[in-house]
Structure 1
Amino acid sequence: MAIRTDPGLTDPGLARRRLWQLVSPTLPVGTYSYSGGMEWAIEAGWLADEAAVADWMQGQIRHSLSRIDIPLLARLHRAWLEDDDEAVERFSAWLGASRETRELRAEDRHLGQALARLLSELDLNEADRWQGHPDATWATLFALALARWSIPVEEGAEAILWSWCENQVAAAIKLVPLGQTAGQRLLHRLASTIGGAAREGLARDDAAIGGTAPGVAIASALHETQYSRLFRS
Structure 2
Amino acid sequence: MKAASAMGITITTRTIIATPQAKSMAETDLFDLMSWMSPAWPIGAFAHSSGLEWAVEEGHVTNRETTLEWIVAALENGAIHNDLVIFVHAWRAADAGDTAALLDVAELAVAAQTGYERQLESCAQGAAFRRIAISAAGVSRFSCYLESLTDENLTYPVASAVLFACRGIPLRMGLTAWLHGAVSNLVSAAQRLVPLGQTDGQTVLRELRGPILAAVENAHGLPEGDPFAAMGGCTLVADLGCMAHETQYTRLFRT
Q: TM-score, normalised on structure 1?
A: 0.90
Q: 1:133 to 1:84 in 2, by over 3 A?
A: farther
Deviation at 1:124, TM superposition (A): 3.6
1:190 maps to amino acid? L
Amino acid at match of 2:166: R
Structure 2 distance, partners of 1:160, 1:58, is 16
**Greater RCO, CA 8 A, separation 6+:** 1
Q: Which of residues 34, 38, 59 in structure 2 aligns to 1:24?
A: 38
- Aligned-pair identity in percent equals 28
Structure 2 match to 1:87: 101
Give the distance between the partners of 2:244 and 2:190, measured in 1 at CA: 18
Equivalent position of 1:225 in the other structure: 247
Q: Which amino acid aligns with 2:177?
A: A
RMSD: 1.7
Q: Distance in 2 between matches of 1:50 and 1:217?
A: 21
1:135 aligns with 2:149: no
Of the candidates 153, 161, 175, which is equivalent to residue 193 of structure 2? 175
Equivalent residue, structure 2, for 1:6: none
Equivalent position SS for 1:120: helix
Residue matched to 2:164: 146
Structure 2 unaligned blocks of 5 or more: 1-23
* Structure having the higher Rg: 2
1: distance between equivalents of 2:78 and 2:242?
14
Between 71-80 and 219-228, the greater mean CA deviation after superposition: 71-80
Alignment pair present for 1:156 and 2:174: yes
1:39 to 31, 43, 53: 53
Instruction: For residue 201 of structure 1, give the secondary structure of its aligned residue in structure 2.
Output: helix
- The residue identity in structure 2 corresponding to 1:162 is H
Deviation at 1:64, TM superposition (A): 2.5
Moved over 3 A (4+): 123-126, 130-133
Q: Does 1:200 align with 2:218?
A: yes
Aligned length: 224
**Per-residue deviation at 1:211?**
2.4
Partner letter of residue 44 of structure 2? G
What is the TM-score normalised by the length of structure 2?
A: 0.83
Conserved 8 A contact 1:35-1:231: yes
Q: Which stretch shows the higher mean deviation, 164-173 or 116-125? A: 116-125
Distance (Å, rounded) in 2 between the aligned partners of 1:184 and 1:67: 22
Shift of 1:131: 7.5
Instruction: Give 2:3's aligned residue.
Output: none
**Is the counterpart of residue 107 in structure 1 residue 121 in structure 2?**
yes
Q: What is the alpha-carbon distance in structure 1 between the residues aligned to residue 88 and residue 66 of structure 2?
A: 30
Q: CA deviation at 1:169?
A: 0.6
Q: Report the Cα offset of residue 162 of structure 1.
A: 0.6
| Kept in 1: contact 2:85–2:230 (CA 8 A) | no
